[in-house]
């Protein structure tokens, strides 16, 4: 292709241009062309603007979204690789339009509670990731001395439990521990993400009755735990985040804390926004997660909390396990592992309901890409803006499909979404400018090219890779205003 001249400069030529009449930009959706040089977005131009490029893709009416950022993924490798692994999890992510995941520190062995364990995790992940991967560290009793080194090593932040985590090697924090960890993290301006259920309010569950299981983990268990988090965050000035919020009665409390200036954020998950407890058949342990899916009134209130901006993000809590641990044969909710794996389906699940509610792709991109990227300190991710990584998703917002477990790419395709008709489907995804999916099968094709990411340094215009070399990013920092006009691309 012949290069063109702009404003008398040397001829320029992009590596890739992707055009869409529904390009989801930070300031809103409009027809536009995203021009890519190397791994980054070099320019945002008008849809029909002539641009010289090695490859020019016109999506027409298909939407172009920023690659999703899923900050709540349990990969489980090393140690419980038979549950899930980096290859299978990141292939499922790519097919679902998720171009960055943040791996949780527990369920792998060792858990990521020390710098040595983080090195083990990175070694396990190396060369087998189809999307970019960042890591959470763990805050457990007895690892206070590892918080600063892990923070320096680039973890996105720290995860803790306030209740039994389900695995013995990742113990919960007591109230005093929570305060003292938050105090340490405040000094680092590091984030603590919290599984907020209070064990004193949770009862043992058994049997096939889903209603009994839900009643065993009542909303008050979440409320009591979130009260503790808010109190500790207020006292220490630390940043705290509530993972997988299920009990909508907590939305008002979170809104109040935010209004009072407490540095609190919250996420919920696709399954809480899609399912209602009334629909769940007895014995259907594929629906088990903790905290549980609650009733339809609660679901409506969660949506309102999300739409009001009190809940900041929607992320998967992708947490698979072997089918035998899901207790599918007995249907016993007490015996079953709690976790729903939805990396590949989350975008469709959320869009299916969001569009019915009159929400837009801008909302979905904010909930599932921009806000999670900011949460995890990944300033080059989550936005179609000049200087950000060219992580792009071609999405057909009108295509419907029936969920076929045989097409799911995570290790064990147990799913409560089997047989459901969803609206909106990923057609292609690009990771730092490289197409990931075979156009026919829509599964990842070629070689895995994901990188292991460290948290971006706030105030610095760079992310730092595992080997310490910077990835240029012109839009770092929490207060960045993404540019939407052209900046000079690489010249050839």
Min dist. Cβ of residue 72 to Zn ion (A): 6
Is 389 a residue that touches Zn ion (CB under 5 A)?
Answer: no
Min dist. Cβ of residue 71 to Zn ion (A): 10
For Zn ion, the closer CB: 412 or 432: 412
Min dist. Cβ of residue 243 to Zn ion (A): 6
Residue 327's nearest CA partner among 338, 339, 336 is: 336
Residue span binding Zn ion (CB under 5 A) among the ranges 113-121, 154-162, 198-206, 315-323: 315-323
How crowded is the C-beta side of 377, counted as CA atoms within 13 Å?
25
Q: Measured in Å, how far apart are the chain's first and last C-alpha atoms?
A: 12
Min dist. Cβ of residue 253 to Zn ion (A): 21
Which member of 15, 198, 222, 317 binds Zn ion (CB under 5 A)? 317
Burial class of residue 61 in the structure, from the number of CB atoms within 10 Å of its CB (0-12 exposed, 13-18 middle, 19+ buried): exposed
How crowded is the C-beta side of 19, counted as CA atoms within 13 Å?
14
Residue span binding Zn ion (CB under 5 A) among the ranges 51-59, 130-138, 213-221, 309-317: 309-317
For Zn ion, the closer CB: 103 or 132: 103
Min dist. Cβ of residue 289 to Zn ion (A): 8
Strands 191-195 and 98-103: unpaired
For Zn ion, the closer CB: 339 or 433: 339
Question: Per CB under 5 A, which of residues 167..206 are in contact with Zn ion?
Answer: none
For Zn ion, the closer CB: 317 or 391: 317
Min dist. Cβ of residue 318 to Zn ion (A): 8
**From its phi and psi, is residue 260 left (phi > 0), alpha (psi between -120 and 50) or beta?**
alpha
Residue 380's nearest CA partner among 455, 280, 486, 305 is: 455
Min dist. Cβ of residue 106 to Zn ion (A): 8
DSSP state of 416: T
Q: What are the φ and ψ backbone dihedral angles of 278, each rounded to 5 degrees?
A: -60, -25
Q: How far apart are CA 41 and CA 14, in angstroms?
A: 10
For Zn ion, the closer CB: 29 or 415: 415
Residue span binding Zn ion (CB under 5 A) among the ranges 37-45, 209-217, 314-322, 411-419: 314-322
For Zn ion, the closer CB: 310 or 340: 340
Residue span binding Zn ion (CB under 5 A) among the ranges 10-18, 31-39, 185-193, 316-324: 316-324
Min dist. Cβ of residue 104 to Zn ion (A): 6
Residue span binding Zn ion (CB under 5 A) among the ranges 317-325, 424-432, 433-441, 448-456: 317-325
Q: How far apart are CA 373 and CA 366, in angstroms?
A: 10
- 24's enclosing H/E stretch is strand 16-25
For Zn ion, the closer CB: 25 or 73: 73
**Number of chain residues interacting with Zn ion (CB under 5 A):** 1
- Residue sitting closest to Zn ion (CB): 317
For Zn ion, the closer CB: 118 or 289: 289
Min dist. Cβ of residue 317 to Zn ion (A): 4
Min dist. Cβ of residue 102 to Zn ion (A): 11
Strands 16-25 and 28-37: antiparallel
Residue span binding Zn ion (CB under 5 A) among the ranges 24-32, 81-89, 312-320, 463-471: 312-320
For Zn ion, the closer CB: 34 or 266: 266
Q: How far apart are CA 225 and CA 175, in angstroms?
A: 9
Q: Give how far Cα 472 sits from Cα of 41, 60, 133, 184, Å.
A: 11, 30, 17, 30
3-state secondary structure of 140: coil
264 cis-preceded (ω within 30 degrees of 0): no
For Zn ion, the closer CB: 411 or 451: 411
For Zn ion, the closer CB: 105 or 444: 105
Range 293-321 burial, b when 16+ CB lie within 10 A, else e? bbeeebbebbbebbeeebbbbbbbbbbbb
Residue span binding Zn ion (CB under 5 A) among the ranges 107-115, 310-318, 402-410, 413-421: 310-318
Q: How far apart are CA 141 and CA 131, in angstroms?
A: 32
3-state secondary structure of 459: coil
Residue span binding Zn ion (CB under 5 A) among the ranges 224-232, 311-319, 352-360, 370-378: 311-319
Q: How far apart are CA 347 and CA 425, in angstroms?
A: 8
Question: Per CB under 5 A, which of residues 452..481 are in contact with Zn ion?
Answer: none
Catalog residues that contact Zn ion under the rule CB under 5 A. 317
């Amino acid at each position: 292709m012949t290069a063109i001249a702009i404003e008398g400069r040397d001829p320029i030529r992009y590596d890739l241009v992707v055009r869409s009449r529904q390009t989801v930009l930070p300031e809103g959706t409009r027809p536009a062309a995203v021009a890519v040089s190397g791994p980054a977005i070099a320019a945002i131009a008008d849809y029909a603007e002539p641009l010289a490029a090695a490859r020019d893709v016109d999506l027409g009416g298909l939407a172009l979204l920023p690659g999703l950022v899923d900050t709540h993924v349990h990969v489980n490798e090393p140690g419980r690789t038979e549950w899930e692994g980096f290859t299978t999890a990141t292939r499922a992510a790519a097919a679902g339009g998720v171009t960055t995941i943040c791996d949780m520190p527990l369920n792998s062995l060792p858990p990521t509670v020390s710098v040595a364990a983080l090195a083990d995790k990175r070694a396990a992940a190396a060369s087998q990731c189809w999307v970019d991967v960042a890591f959470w560290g763990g805050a457990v009793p007895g690892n206070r001395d590892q918080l600063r080194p892990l923070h320096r090593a680039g973890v996105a932040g720290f995860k803790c439990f306030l209740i039994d985590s389900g695995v013995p090697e990742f113990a919960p924090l007591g109230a005093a521990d929570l305060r003292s960890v938050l105090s340490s993290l405040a000094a680092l301006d590091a984030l603590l993400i919290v599984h907020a259920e209070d064990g004193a309010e949770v009862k043992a569950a058994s049997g096939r009755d889903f209603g009994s299981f839900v009643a065993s983990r009542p909303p008050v268990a979440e409320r009591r735990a979130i009260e503790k988090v808010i109190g500790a965050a207020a006292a220490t000035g630390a940043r705290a985040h509530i993972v997988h919020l299920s009990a909508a009665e907590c939305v008002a409390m979170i809104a109040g804390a935010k209004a009072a200036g407490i540095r609190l954020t919250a996420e919920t998950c696709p399954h809480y926004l899609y399912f209602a407890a009334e629909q769940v058949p007895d014995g259907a342990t594929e629906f088990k997660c903790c905290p549980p899916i609650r009733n339809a009134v609660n679901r409506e209130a969660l949506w309102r909390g999300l739409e009001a901006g009190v809940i900041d993000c929607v992320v998967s809590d992708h947490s698979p396990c072997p089918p035998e641990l899901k207790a599918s044969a007995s249907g016993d909710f007490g015996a079953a592992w709690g976790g729903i794996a939805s990396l590949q389906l989350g975008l469709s699940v959320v869009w299916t309901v969001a569009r019915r509610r009159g929400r837009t792709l801008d909302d979905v991109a904010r909930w599932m890409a921009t806000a999670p990227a900011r949460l995890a300190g990944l300033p080059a991710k989550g936005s179609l803006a000049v200087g950000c990584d060219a992580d792009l998703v071609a999405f057909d917002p009108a295509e419907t499909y029936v969920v076929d477990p045989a097409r799911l790419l995570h290790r064990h395709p147990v799913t409560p979404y089997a047989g459901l008709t969803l609206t909106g489907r990923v057609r292609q995804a690009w990771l730092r400018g490289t197409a990931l999916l075979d156009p026919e099968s829509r599964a990842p094709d070629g070689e895995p090219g994901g990188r292991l990411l460290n948290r971006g340094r706030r105030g610095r215009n760079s992310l730092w890779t595992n080997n310490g070399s910077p990835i240029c990013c012109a839009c770092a920092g929490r207060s960045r205003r993404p540019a939407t006009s052209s900046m000079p691309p690489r010249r050839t």
